[in-house]
Amino acid sequence: MKKFTPEHLASAARNAAAPLSLFRQVLTSVQEGIYLDSWSLDQDTFPLNTQAAWSVKKYRLHGGKQEGVEVIEVDNGRLRFTVVPTRGMSVLKVTSGDVRLGWDSPVKEVVHPQFINLESRGGLGWLEGFNEWMVRCGLEWSGHPGSDRFCTPRGDEVRRDLTLHGRIGNVPASHVEVVIEPGSTPRIHIRGRVEERMFHGPKLSLWTDISTELGSDSVRFDDAITNGDVHEQEFQILYHVNFGPPLLEAGSLFFGAIQRVESFNPHSARSAMDYRNYAGPQAGFVEQVYCLHPLAGADGRTECMLQNAQGDRGVSLAFPVAQFPYVTLWKNLAAPAEGYVTGIEPGTGFPYTRQDERKSGRVPKLAPNETRSFSLDVSIHPDRQGVQAASRRIQTIQGPLQPVIDPAPL
């Protein structure tokens, strides 16, 4: 599978006249002054080498707290997903056949950042917009709210009250484009650039790329974070990937190639031995969080899976362990009205406060102009064969090693 970097895209785009060249449509560019309020493309208007009835549609939502939110719907002919440029290129949901990746949050609207105050509720304002299948947490910080004391590049020691899961999920994208790779296996990319920049502060750019091969049952993230500063810059990123029904139900099971399982807190520790198993919804369920240290296969990659109770539907996340050395497993098996949901969250760390993460050596830094890539493959398994194949791949990575389940909290 050819790696498709921003640089490649850029160079290919420059050669747009070449045969089998990339198609590229910029929907938003603050630099070039481009902005399309609505836009669409499909197999009829732009025939590709496929039988798939694919389409891409961009439009705006209105009313309530979603007034003005931009969304992009992609249908690859089999699988559909919705990207939200206004909310940091989050992905609202994915559907394919009878499988839905996503969950039923008490938050029923795609909330525009204009209505979010991250500082409110003691730094928990982020929760007022939280309903996506996949929302990135970061970039300057991620994790639980709390006070942090740190040194700025200019040598000032400052104290800041950090808010839950950072800001990137509530920053509208400065650049949005659709890129289509034609050829024998056409692929649609939705790409966006989201910035965390300020004077006397971070200069972090996130290039997001979610793509899907026409007719396939999977999507791929190929993201890159760049430090535009002349100083080293701490950063954190965590992919908060969330699943409710139908994949989550009583009897669902988590699979992962795992070296070690730690508990986020004493409450979680009490159920640590049972961390892979899911119960049905229970009103007032107190969330359990496990800190997983994944194992890599020979190619450096690992895979996790959530399967339903019957074992005939599932979803896999596959990624390089060097990029995502930590996976947080979040179980919020509450009543449907509260949000019955589990998160499988690959990241550069765990969701403790940045202060605590720094002490544990889990806050990476980017050198000036350094870029770090983050890629994540998500595949839906629509049947027992697919689920079993994923299970075997995970077992192969796991090998004979038994995961250590540490009953004591981290």
Distances (CA, A) of 25 to 17, 28, 178, 278: 14, 9, 5, 43
Q: Which amino acid, residue 275?
A: Y
Q: How far is the CB of 265 from its own copies (least distance, A)?
A: 12
Residue among 125 and 347 whose Cβ is closer to its own copies = 125
Task: Kindly state the tokens that stand for 135.
Answer: 């929302």
Q: How far is the CB of 62 from its own copies (least distance, A)?
A: 4
Q: How far is the CB of 283 from its own copies (least distance, A)?
A: 4
Residue among 3 and 154 whose Cβ is closer to its own copies = 154
How far is 263 from 240, CA to CA, in rounded Å?
A: 18
Helix extents (H) in 143-293: 266-269
Residue among 192 and 386 whose Cβ is closer to its own copies = 192
Residue among 46 and 115 whose Cβ is closer to its own copies = 115
Residue among 163 and 218 whose Cβ is closer to its own copies = 163
Residue among 16 and 30 whose Cβ is closer to its own copies = 30
How far is 238 from 141, CA to CA, in rounded Å?
A: 10
Q: How far is the CB of 334 from its own copies (least distance, A)?
A: 8
Provide the binding-site residues for its own copies, judged by CB under 8 A.
Answer: 28-31, 33-35, 61-68, 105-109, 113-115, 117-122, 124, 127-128, 130-131, 153-155, 158-161, 171-176, 195, 197-201, 203, 228-231, 283-286, 335, 337-339
Q: How far is the CB of 43 from its own copies (least distance, A)?
A: 24
Q: How far is the CB of 2 from its own copies (least distance, A)?
A: 30
Helix extents (H) in 288-383: 354-359
Q: How far is the CB of 222 from its own copies (least distance, A)?
A: 21
Q: CA 390, 322, 330, 220 torsion: positive or negative? A: negative
First to last CA, the chain: 38
Residue among 7 and 161 whose Cβ is closer to its own copies = 161
How far is 30 from 301, CA to CA, in rounded Å?
A: 36
Among 289, 313, 315, CA closest to 304: 315
Among 158, 138, 135, 139, CA closest to 148: 158
How far is 8 from 90, CA to CA, in rounded Å?
A: 23
